[in-house]
Amino acid sequence: MAPIRCVLAGTLALLTGHGAQAGSTPSSAIVEAFRTICATDDPTPEATLARAESLGWRRAGPDAPPGFDPRSQRLAPAGAGGLVLGAQAETTTTVRVDSCGVSAPIPVGGLTEATEAWLGITPTFAMANSATFSAVWVDGALRPAAGLDRTQIQQAHREGRLYSVMVLDDETGASGKGRATLALLRLEPEPGP
């Protein structure tokens, strides 16, 4: 069984405090929330929720959307635009998926560019408003996988350090609602004997 780590991030408005810089754009706020809460040392869902709470995210509030579940979700600090963080673990018959996300259903331009600026690498694949970056976790940060040979890629995979960072910046949603998403996927190593 090969567990997969999946992290999603999107935003409704600029974050105020808690990692976002004053005057930041919505796309840079998405990346900052993702970097600050989700892309940190591959935490468990419980650790992710605790980290969010330490940054002021709330278990309840009058701005909670329908279906909000405080067991696996947190509301952004008051005044931060109604963001919702979700973190949970699910197991299917073949994989374990840990997920973390900060989301809201709105389109946001420039998410690929903001992700590229954060990672310091160009996407390995880009098309219209989507992109995929290949990265390896090294010394507490994501680094470009470009330039690694097959043996190095396989080693990173065995050690659980190989990631794909995917962007969907849907500015023209067919429903008129659109969305912005930043996802981090990691194929975790097979458990040892």
pLDDT confidence of 141, banded at 50, 70, 90? confident
- At 82 the pLDDT is 66
For residue 193, tell me if it sits in a domain: no
For residue 143, tell me if it sits in a domain: yes
- At 154 the pLDDT is 83
pLDDT at 106 over 60: yes
What is the domain count for the chain? 1
For residue 113, tell me if it sits in a domain: yes
Host domain of residue 124? 4-187
- At 72 the pLDDT is 93
- At 9 the pLDDT is 42
For residue 122, tell me if it sits in a domain: yes
Entry pTM: 0.72
- At 49 the pLDDT is 93
- Report the C-alpha gap between 75 and 185 in whole angstroms: 23
- At 71 the pLDDT is 95
For residue 192, tell me if it sits in a domain: no
For residue 53, tell me if it sits in a domain: yes
Greater pLDDT, 82 or 124: 124
